């Protein structure tokens, strides 16, 4: 079993939809939870960073962590074509995050 599992997609949605991106992990020591966005042929960009269980909101983005079920979610409200990218979840327990393979999101006008 991989430490971090993520459905690669692609996930295709119409503009304005609410998007739910999910990730599961196996290491109960993970305490930090990050989401990165990666556009094609670019480096990952840090979107959200949370510690422990709970929700965190930043504009159209909400990150949710459920440590009891080892489940991480990222919600995007009012999705835009510019949100089309690969979204990588990256939980971590020490100082190095472990990346999922990413979910490709396509938002069509």
Partner 1 sequence: ETGVTQSPTHLIKTRGQQVTLRCSSQSGHNTVSWYQQALGQGPQFIFQYYREEENGRGNFPPRFSGLQFPNYSSELNVNALELDDSALYLCASSLGRSGAYEQYFGPGTRLTVT
* Strand 103-108, strand 85-92: pairing: antiparallel
Q: Which residues 6+ apart lie within 8 Å of 82 measured at CB?
A: 107
Q: Which of 27, 28, 42, 66 binds partner 1 (CB under 8 A)?
A: 42
For partner 1, the closer of residues 19 and 23 by Cβ is 23
Q: Of these, 20, 46, 81, 108, which contacts partner 1 (CB under 8 A)?
A: 46
**Cα 76–chain centre separation:** 10
Per-residue x/- mask for partner 1, residues 62 to 101, rule CB under 8 A? --------------------------x-x-x-xxxxxxxx
Q: Counting contacts by CB under 8 A, is residue 105 touching partner 1?
A: no
Compute the residue count for the chain: 109
Decide if 19 contacts 40 (C-beta within 8 A).
no
| Count of other CB atoms within 10 angstroms of residue 19 | 19
Which residues contribute to the site for partner 1 (CB under 8 A)?
4, 6, 8, 32, 34, 36, 41-46, 49, 88, 90, 92, 94-102
């Amino acid at each position: 079993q991989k430490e971090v599992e993520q459905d690669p997609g692609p996930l295709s949605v119409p503009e304005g939809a609410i998007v739910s991106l999910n990730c599961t992990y196996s290491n109960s020591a993970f305490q930090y939870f990050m989401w990165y966005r990666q556009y094609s042929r670019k480096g990952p960009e840090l979107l959200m960073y949370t510690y422990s269980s709970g929700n965190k909101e930043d504009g159209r983005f909400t990150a949710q962590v459920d440590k009891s079920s080892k489940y991480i979610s990222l919600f995007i409200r009012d999705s835009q074509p510019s949100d089309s990218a690969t979204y990588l979840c990256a939980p971590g327990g020490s100082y190095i995050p472990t990346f999922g393979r990413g979910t490709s999101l396509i938002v069509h006008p």
